[in-house]
């Protein structure tokens, strides 16, 4: 049996395009899964921090953050967020920038590595992004993250202990070093089967197409001796 196609995704919990890209990827893979010879796919998420200098408890709105930290005029930020909200809605996501709590995401990334070890990375990634972009939940503090871990089916106390010990921080840094080695300068970034790089929140159809293409290439490749 052919090995599954590996899709490695570099993203940040606080990146609006990353959640859109994630949903479009899932939609595209679901479309390809209806094929007679459906591709088998294994998706792994990797850590990338867009704003590592962000405080855990940022005092202000998302507009305040982007205005202060990125030097963008408030009206320009509002227009940008309206556009992103519309694109998110097209992907089936209800963004709520009005209640979003901007925060540092390094602990959320540590939690994703803990979840990966427990076989729950997919569920934890979805829970974190939904909590952040649609529910106004805090994803930077350990106790809040432990609550979300419990909601994703993980042991809450074990998750809290993992975050307090920072034992997954090295794994987060390794992901970031790999992103740097690949030359990744923005997210989401998708590495398909270790040989194709796809940047940005591509449409679902694009993900379906490249997955089918790689699967067909696998079928056409001569068998190893």
For 154-187, what is each residue's pLDDT tens digit? 999 999 999 999 999 999 999 999 999 999 999 9
Task: Please name the helix (run of DSSP H) or strand (run of DSSP E) that holds residue 115, with its range, or none.
Answer: helix 106-117
Over 50: is that where the pLDDT of 81 sits? Answer: yes
Tell me whether residue 162 is in a domain.
Answer: yes
Supply the angle between the helices 156-165 and 142-151 in degrees, to the nearest 10. Answer: 140
Tell me whether residue 159 is in a domain.
Answer: yes
Mean pLDDT of all residues in 130-148? 98
CATH number at residue 115: 3.40.30.10
- Residue 214 structure tokens: 């790689």
pLDDT over 90, % of the chain: 93
pLDDT, residue 223, reads: 57
Tell me whether residue 92 is in a domain.
Answer: yes
pLDDT, residue 37, reads: 94
Over 70: is that where the pLDDT of 129 sits? Answer: yes
Sort strands 5-11 and 41-47 into parallel, antiparallel or unpaired.
Answer: parallel
- Residue 198 structure tokens: 């796809």
What's the Cα-to-Cα distance from 9 to each of 43, 74, 222, rounded to whole Å? 7, 31, 28
Question: Taking the model in full, what pTM does it have?
Answer: 0.95
Supply the angle between the helices 121-134 and 16-32 in degrees, to the nearest 10. Answer: 130
d(CA 140, CA 145): 7
Beta-ladder partners of 5 = 41
d(CA 40, CA 76): 42
Over 70: is that where the pLDDT of 34 sits? Answer: yes
Residue 225: pLDDT band with limits 50, 70, 90: very low
Tell me whether residue 80 is in a domain.
Answer: yes
Domain that includes residue 25, residue range: 5-220
| Contact criterion met (CB below 8 Å) for 86 and 79 | no
Tell me whether residue 225 is in a domain.
Answer: no
pLDDT, residue 70, reads: 79
Number of domains in the chain: 1
pLDDT, residue 147, reads: 98
Tell me whether residue 182 is in a domain.
Answer: yes
Residue 2: pLDDT band with limits 50, 70, 90: confident
Tell me whether residue 89 is in a domain.
Answer: yes
Tell me whether residue 76 is in a domain.
Answer: yes
Q: What is the CA radius of gyration of the chain?
A: 18
Mean pLDDT of all residues in 203-225? 87
**pLDDT tens digit string along 190-213?**
999 999 999 999 999 999 999 999
């Amino acid at each position: 049996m052919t090995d599954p196609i590996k899709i490695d995704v570099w993203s940040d919990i606080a990146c609006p395009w990353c959640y859109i890209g994630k949903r479009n990827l899932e939609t595209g893979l679901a479309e390809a899964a209806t094929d007679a010879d459906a591709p088998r796919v294994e998706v792994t998420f990797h850590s990338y921090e867009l704003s590592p200098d962000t405080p855990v408890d940022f005092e202000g709105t998302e507009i305040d953050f982007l205005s202060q930290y990125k030097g963008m005029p408030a009206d320009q930020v509002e227009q940008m967020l309206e556009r992103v909200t519309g694109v998110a809605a097209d992907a089936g996501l209800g963004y709520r920038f009005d209640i979003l709590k901007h925060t540092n995401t390094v602990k959320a990334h540590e939690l994703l590595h803990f979840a990966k070890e427990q076989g729950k990375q997919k569920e934890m990634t979805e829970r974190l992004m939904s909590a952040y972009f649609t529910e106004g939940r805090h994803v930077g503090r350990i106790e809040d993250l432990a609550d979300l871990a419990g909601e994703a089916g993980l042991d809450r106390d074990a998750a809290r202990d993992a975050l307090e010990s920072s034992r997954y921080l090295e794994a987060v840094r390794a992901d970031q070093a790999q992103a740097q080695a690949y030359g990744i300068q923005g997210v989401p970034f998708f590495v398909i089967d270790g040989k194709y790089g796809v940047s940005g929140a591509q449409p679902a159809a694009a993900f379906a197409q490249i997955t089918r293409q790689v699967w067909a290439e696998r079928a056409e490749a001569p068998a190893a001796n």
